[in-house]
Amino acid sequence: MFQEPHKFTGKLFIVEGIDGSGKSTQLRLLHSWLEAQGYPVFMTEWNSSQLVKQTTKEGKKKKTLTPTTFSLLHATDFADRLAYQILPPLKAGMIVLADRYAYTAFSRDVVRGVHPSWVRKVYDFAVKPDLAFYFKVPLPIAIERILSGRAKLKYYEAGMDLNLSHSLEESFKIFQGMILKEYDRMIEEFGLSVIDATLEIQEQQEIVREIVAENLKGFSTKRRNYAKRNKVFWRRFAIPENRRA
């Protein structure tokens, strides 16, 4: 399923990159631009489903997660969001924007120690995005952005479970470097659209918009038949919205 283009009427655009690559900023800018043009847009974030939120939180707190359970919990989160947040708007002809997608698992989980082909197979139920942007940034720049803007790194975020270093900051650097290598390997494998994340924010956004505009040729900006039953339509989407609260 993940290898072939989906057949839904909507569009799925996703962004990937290591922490500090600026991908979320770019996605927000894309979001505003698409909405300004009248496109119906739905946003979804990695690891945000209500279903496994508590479990992931407790597992992280107790530090009992193994690479496999860590990976499976994220896959469960993803499967839940796919069913309730990604597929419904996609089927309804909306543009779905995802901050991180299966590729995050393919990089992080593999660095944690699961087999590359295993985790790819686990996510086989996923839908192939119409566009997958990879914000490529040199490690020192990303590290600088993260460490200057954040209070404290978390245990799993820094990859402390991998015993790379006793220092949170040092472990984070090594961990992010390993993830970066996995991303680079995936560019060709999945045909990721590489964006130079060292460029100015506006420069990057222009490139992104150009690629998106090309992909949206022939895609209608008009809301479709569901616009006539606005109430029912939004009631359906009230579910995932509330679950994220």
C-alpha to C-alpha distances, 223 to 44, 149, 151, 226, nearest whole angstrom: 20, 39, 42, 7
Those residues whose C-beta lies under 8 Å from the C-beta of residue 184, and which sit 6 or more positions away, are 136
Q: Which residue, 19, 36, 24, 85, is CA-closest to 243?
A: 85
Residues 92-131 that bind its own copies (CB under 8 A): 114-115, 118, 121-122, 124-125
Residue 57 vs 150, nearer CB to its own copies: 57
User: Which residue in the set 76, 165, 198, 215 belongs to the binding site for its own copies (CB under 8 A)?
Assistant: 76
Contact status: 177 vs its own copies (CB under 8 A): no
Question: Is 90 an interacting residue with respect to its own copies (CB under 8 A)?
Answer: no
Residue 242 binds its own copies, judged by CB under 8 A: no
Read off the amino acid at residue 114. Answer: V
Residue 229 in contact with its own copies, rule: CB under 8 A: no
CB 49 within 8 A of CB 245: no
Burial of 198 (0-12, 13-18, 19+ CB in 10 A): middle
With binding defined as CB under 8 A, does residue 80 bind its own copies?
yes
Q: Is 63 in the site for its own copies (CB under 8 A)?
A: no
The yes or no reply on residue 162 touching its own copies (CB under 8 A) is no
Residue 54 in contact with its own copies, rule: CB under 8 A: yes
Tell me the sheet residues that pair with 162: none
Q: Does 208 bind its own copies (CB under 8 A)?
A: no
CB 73, min distance to its own copies, A: 6
Q: What angle do CA 179, 181, 185 make, to 5 degrees?
A: 115
In angstroms, the CA 158 to CA 90 distance is: 34
Decide: is 220 part of the binding site for its own copies (CB under 8 A): no
Q: What does the block give as tokens for 88?
A: 């419904």
CB of 50 to its own copies, least distance (A): 9
Stretch that binds its own copies, among 31-39, 63-71, 161-169, 214-222 (CB under 8 A): 63-71
SS3 14: strand
Task: Quote the DSSP letter at residue 156.
Answer: T
Position 55 contacts its own copies (CB under 8 A) = yes
Choices 9-17, 68-76, 127-135, 230-238; region in contact with its own copies by CB under 8 A:
68-76
